[in-house]
Amino acid sequence: MCYKGIETTERRAVVEFAGSSNVLTFDVGGSHVSAGLCDLQGLQVIHASSAPLPAVVSFDGFVDLLYTLGREAAGAERNIAGAALAVPGPFDCEAGVSLMQHKLESLYGKDLRGALAARFGWAPEQLRFLNDASAFLLGEVSAGSVRGAKRAAGLTLGTGIGSAFALDGHPVTDGKGVPPGGEIWNIPWGDGTVEDLISTRALKAEYLARTGKDEEVVDIAAAAKTDADARQVFESFGLHLGQVLRDVIAPFHPEMVVVGGGISRSAELFLPIAQKQIDDLGIRVVTSSLLDQAALVGAAAFWRDEFAPANERSADALPASFAPSRF
């Protein structure tokens, strides 16, 4: 999660714009980092680049990696308004400082905003940070599967389970029906937590218990047509997901819930079962249409919304207080 309340419905002061209509966005994942050059008007990724994230990376090495990916994504474009980064938590998004100690340890307590601003030749104010699950949902609300939904929730199903909630197109981390911090992974469930039942490791563990085979989720899904155990594992996953949707997500009263992440690529094996458990609640569950670009698009939408309200958005998307970067 992000701290210091950056992801609330409160808006920042509006700033006059004059300059670039493009922004760089980054999605910092568990195993890779992606960068995109995004159009602020149409919220489309013009060009993207990605690279594996080393298991051990120094702070300077991480900054260099982002700079390199940013240059690759930008291509020949040099008139860029700034950047927005979708990052895992815990992270102080207001300060641009990582609070993670379980991964990317070299970033802990360091001024990432300042380091990136210096590397790109930008003012620190040109960089924004937001939680990665919030970026995913904001991308889908702004230009994807749940576009225009007044109340929406997003779940990323992968190594763990990420969650986000949005009201009127803006991420929220508190309020009626929103779990503390907008996070559900650590909510007690059964003999463990939600993440113990809805994650890659949960799927793999159940299949291992049934068959004695330690397979990857993609391989279990591929075998589901002919392997009864594989089908049952995904059906059980769908049952658990439906229960969590009903008991944990539904109190927010979302119109729609969008699911993404690696496991969602096998949605046909579990999503119909999950949907059946909430049909009487009027909530529709859909899969991501933006897929790997959702967080990149969401980060662009977040950067734009930080500076311009809906009725003042135009191609002139850069605050007059600083000039477009030509790094």
The count of residues in the chain is 327
What pLDDT, on the 0 to 100 scale, is given for residue 44? 95
pLDDT digits (tens, 9 = 90+) for 73-97: 999 998 899 999 999 888 899 999 9
CB-CB neighbours of 78 under 10 Å = 13
Residues contacting residue 36 through CB under 8 Å, at least 6 positions apart: 24, 25, 26, 27, 45, 46, 47, 48, 49, 73, 293, 296, 297, 300
What pLDDT, on the 0 to 100 scale, is given for residue 6? 37
> Would you say 313 and 41 are in contact if contact means Cβ atoms under 8 Å apart?
yes
Question: Which ranges in 182-259 belong to alpha helices (H)?
Answer: 194-197, 200-211, 217-223, 228-244
What pLDDT, on the 0 to 100 scale, is given for residue 265? 95
Distance CA 28, CA 53 (A): 9
pLDDT digits (tens, 9 = 90+) for 304-322: 998 765 434 444 444 544 4
Q: How confident is the model at residue 159 (pLDDT cuts 50, 70, 90)?
A: confident
Beta bridge partners of 24: 37, 83
Distance CA 1, CA 180 (A): 10
Matching residue, tokens 């907008």: 182
119 pLDDT higher than 50: yes
> Would you say 76 and 46 are in contact if contact means Cβ atoms under 8 Å apart?
no
Q: How confident is the model at residue 1 (pLDDT cuts 50, 70, 90)?
A: low
182 pLDDT higher than 90: yes
Chain-centroid distance of CA 52 in Å reads 18
**Percent above pLDDT 90 for the chain:** 77
Overall CATH class of domain 22-134+292-312: alpha beta
Q: Does domain 148-288 have CATH number 3.30.420.40?
A: yes
pLDDT digits (tens, 9 = 90+) for 187-224: 999 899 999 999 999 999 999 999 999 999 999 999 99
CB-CB neighbours of 105 under 10 Å = 12
The four Cα atoms 292, 110, 301, 78 give a dihedral, to 10 degrees, of -90
pLDDT digits (tens, 9 = 90+) for 246-259: 999 999 999 999 99
What pLDDT, on the 0 to 100 scale, is given for residue 10? 33
Q: Model's pTM, two decimal places?
A: 0.87
Q: Report the Cα–Cα distance between both ends of the chain, in Å, rounded.
A: 31
Burial class (CB in 10 A: 0-12, 13-18, 19+), 202: buried
**Could you give the residue range(s) of every CATH 3.30.420.40 domain in the chain?**
22-134+292-312, 148-288
Higher local confidence (pLDDT), 147 or 56:
147
